[in-house]
Each structure stands twice: as structure tokens, then as C-alpha cells.
Structure 1
């Protein structure tokens, strides 16, 4: 039975390269000279920590990072910037950004319900952090891919493991 997997996985090598490039730019920019502005990659490439002297400077560091990610071909929707800004002494601040990998349960259920309501002759099954869609015809699977791309715009989905 033909099937495919809808996954959410960033290219962690490109994320590392973008963080390195952002660090180099921050080190050479005139407006960051003599400040504590920097960007660091966390363990296993799943977190990026931004440092700055103020909220405004932290925003500038974040803009530099997002520009480098976009230039390296990493979708900025992989960055979960919901973390709040923490004070780390004096007027210095930091923010930890999480890199999304794997579809969370809430979005997986939403995708499964979306496929079920579409009246296409396909089934969606949640398998860990992957949603597997299977059906009898390739055309139905391609229609399901188009539906998921259109309706789930807040996640940078990719479709792998397409089997005939």
C-alpha cells in the first residue's frame, strides 16, 4: 500500500553553520563592539542561546541569526522563539531559542483530523513524532500532500519515505 511520512526535521548542519556565521558577524560589527552580544549553539544543536546587554540588542542579535538561517536555506519556522528573555545579572539578558524537530502531539492530531475530514481515500496514523499517511492510489497521496502543505502553514513540513 503506497504511503509517505510527514516529518519536521531541520538540517542541523546548516543550523550550526548559520550560528557560526552569525557569531562571526556579531564579533565584527561596529555596533556590537565592547558588548556581551553573542550567540551560542546548545547541546545536540537543539537550542540556540542569544546574549545581549539589553532587550533591543538581543533583538538585533536575533535578527542577525534569523537572516543567517534564511540565507543558509533553513526555514525560520523551525525556530521556536516563545521563550522569555531572562536577566542574567546587571543589565545583561539572554534568551534560549529552541529548534523544533519532530511533530508534537497537538499538531499531529490536527493533521490526522484534517486528512480524515478531507474525504480523500487515505488514512493518517501518528507514529511517534511522524505522521504516516497511506492510501490505495498515488494521486490521493499527492492530494494529501497538497492539502497538508496548504492547511498546516505554521510548520515547515517535509515529506519523506514515499513508497509505492
Structure 2
């Protein structure tokens, strides 16, 4: 095997699944007894999910429902940027805005390449290419070991491994 094998480490979202989870959450809070007559809402606009209700506890309950729906649809909860996880009061309505995170930030990409360099098998190269990391090696077994290493790594992004060749 003289040719190099490689794969890409990316952080991408399935927008349709996120949209479905938000719609399911909106349907559930419209039907639940504890949300009757409290003007609770959840909506997806662009890259942010906004949750509104008349109390902070209800906003956190909406967040809990949303997280369960996202998890059931296979979307990583690391894709939500919760910030300080405290609903903000604007007027008479509490609101929480959660931006969606997609793509690897420079800090996360540097952490991944450093981990591969320090703990990975010898002969494996990792390069940052925009918002993804390309990992290459002559040995496919080494690439499998790197994937196993990265699955155990605690980073602030949902990692996927694509273009394995």
C-alpha cells in the first residue's frame, strides 16, 4: 500500500432534522397541560433557535423538550450554543436564544491536531483546512486508531468523520 489514505473531521448539522425537532417541540408545548395559556413558543430562524415563555422555568422546560427531540433525531446536543443557560427577561416575556454551531472553530481544530500529534500513532499527519481537519496516513489501521482516539476526545463540537478513502 504505497498510496496514502485519509479522512476529514468535520462538524456539520442536518438542518432538516433540526427543523423537525423544533416543529415537534412546538407541537408538544402547544398540547401540554402545563403550557396552556402561557404564550410559550419555540422557533428556528436562520442559525438560531429562540424559546419564549412567561417564566424562566417554562423556558428551561421548553429547552428540555427541545433537547430530547434533538437527541431522538440523532442531532448532537453540542450543536446548541447554550451560553450561560439563563433565560433573559425582555418586557414581560422570558426568552432564551441558542445559536447553532456548525464547523470546527480554530481552537477545536488546533486541539484535534495537537491530540493526534501527541497521542496518535506515528506517521499520521493532521492538517487544518478551513473549518475541517484532514487526517492522512499510509496505514488504514492507524486512521482507525485516530478515529477511536477522537471519539473519546472531549471537544466543544459534534465530530463526524467523512471522506474516508
- Asked whether the two chains share a fold, i.e. TM above 0.5, the reply is yes
* 1:25-44 correspondence runs (5 A): 25-43=28-46
Give the corresponding residue for 1:79. 80
Q: Separation in 2 of the partners of 1:73 and 1:21?
A: 14
- CA separation of 1:29/1:123 partners in 2, compared to 1, >3 Å: closer, same or farther? same
C-alpha distance after superposition, 1:50-70 (max 9, x if no partner):
101111111111011111111
* Counterparts of 1:112 and 1:98, CA distance in 2: 26
Matched, 1:18 2:21: yes
Question: Structure 1 residues 21, 119: CA separation in 2 closer, same or farther (over 3 Å shift)?
Answer: closer
Cα pair distance change 1:94/1:140, threshold 3 Å: same
Corresponding residue for 1:102?
103
What is the TM-score of this pair, normalised by structure 2? 0.91
- Number of the residue aligned with 2:10: 7
Residue of structure 2 equivalent to 1:148: 150
CA contact (8 A) 2:127 2:134 kept: yes
CA distance in 1, matches of 2:43, 2:26: 8
Q: Does 1:111 align with 2:116?
A: no
> How many correspondences in the alignment?
160
The TM-score normalised by the length of structure 1 is: 0.92
Alpha-carbon spacing, 1:119–1:66, altered in 2? closer, same or farther (3 Å): closer
Gaps of 5+ in 1: none
C-alpha separation in 2, matches of 1:142 and 1:42: 38
Measure, in 2, the Cα distance between the counterparts of 1:85 and 1:104: 26
Task: Say which of 124, 127, 144 aligns to 1:125.
Answer: 127
CA deviation profile, 1:72-125 (whole Å, cap 9, x unmatched): 1212222111155322202x1111112211011111100010011125211111
Structure 2 unaligned segments of length 5 or more: list them.
Answer: none
Query: Against the structure 1 CA distance between its residues 154 and 104, is the aligned structure 2 distance closer, same or farther, given a 3 Å change threshold?
Result: closer
